[in-house]
Amino acid sequence: MTNQIQLTAENIQQVLGDTSQEKLVALSFYSAQSPECQEQASILQGIAQQYQQHLVVATLDCDTQQALAGQLAQQIGLQALPTLVLLKEGAPVDMLPGPQSEAQIKEALQKHLPQPQDMLLQQAKDALMVQNHNEAFKLAKQAYDIDSNNSRIKLVLADICIQIHKLDDAKALLETIGLVEQDAYYNNIKAKLELAEQAQDSPEIQALQQTVDNEPENLEAKVNLAVALNEAGKKEDALATLFKVLNKDLNFGDAKKSYLDIIASLPEGDALAAQYRRKLYSILY
């Protein structure tokens, strides 16, 4: 659904009343006869696309909606075109009369829009809802880098870390959550972490590890162990095991493919991916 609306008598109550309860509304008084209005309309179009989740740009065409424009202009004391009025929870919170630059509009919006880390966190949650774990991790990590003391950001990031099997990172994040902030969500994540840690030391992995210990030259056993480690979320151990195989025989079975698949499954920019990509290059070239 678009967040750019043409304001009319039919939708004014919905937009300025109900919509402004949920999002910031930028009411733009516009006339096609004014070059400044046309220029500002182009700026607002770009801004609307950047803040789709939190902003609605409602344009009132003063040429075609004269009665409505006259009524609103009287209420707010309109003196110039273009004029931009910001509304939140049904009430005006700011007014920018006359033509404004993109920087001026954004500066005014920032006072009333969610903070960048809050928007990133919401985007991370949205990505998590559609099972896009790596994108969710990237967005949540960006939010954390902006505000590393925010307990809600830390909890969401820890939750994502568990789902992409970065258990050490999840544990480190949970250890920074103060007692007062240990709510139901915290307890849920802590329980998830405990289950994930138990899965990393399953009887299957123990048996495969025993085989590798007893038969150190058995490359097939090492590949099988690496597959099981990866499935349990121990990606670094899996990569280390596969690298030992590739170092012995670069073309052994599916070892190289499994190695590259694990690297590809890691979040963008992950240090572990870069480390093991370099290690592979060292024996390829």
Q: Tell me the per-residue pLDDT of 134-181, one tens digit each, with 9 for 90 and over.
A: 899 999 999 999 999 999 999 999 999 998 888 889 999 999 999 999
Q: Tell me the per-residue pLDDT of 28-73, one tens digit each, with 9 for 90 and over.
A: 999 999 999 999 999 999 999 988 888 999 999 999 999 999 999 8
Look at residue 1 and tell me whether its pLDDT is greater than 60.
no
Give the chain's length: 285
Q: Copy the structure tokens of residue 165.
A: 């099997």
Look at residue 121 and tell me whether its pLDDT is greater than 80.
yes
Q: Residue 53: what pLDDT?
A: 82
pTM above 0.85, yes or no: no
Q: Copy the structure tokens of residue 188.
A: 């849920």
Cβ neighbours around 149 below 10 Å, total: 8
Above pLDDT 90, what percent of the chain? 69
Going by C-alpha positions, the residue among 219, 236, 244 that lies closest to residue 272 is 236
Cβ neighbours around 271 below 10 Å, total: 8
Task: For residue 136, give every residue at least 6 positions away whose Cβ sits within 8 Å of its Cβ, in sequence order, or none.
Answer: 124, 125, 127, 128, 160
User: Can you tell me the distance from the alpha carbon of 136 to that of 157, in angstroms, rounded to the nearest whole number?
Assistant: 8
Average confidence (pLDDT) over 85-98: 92
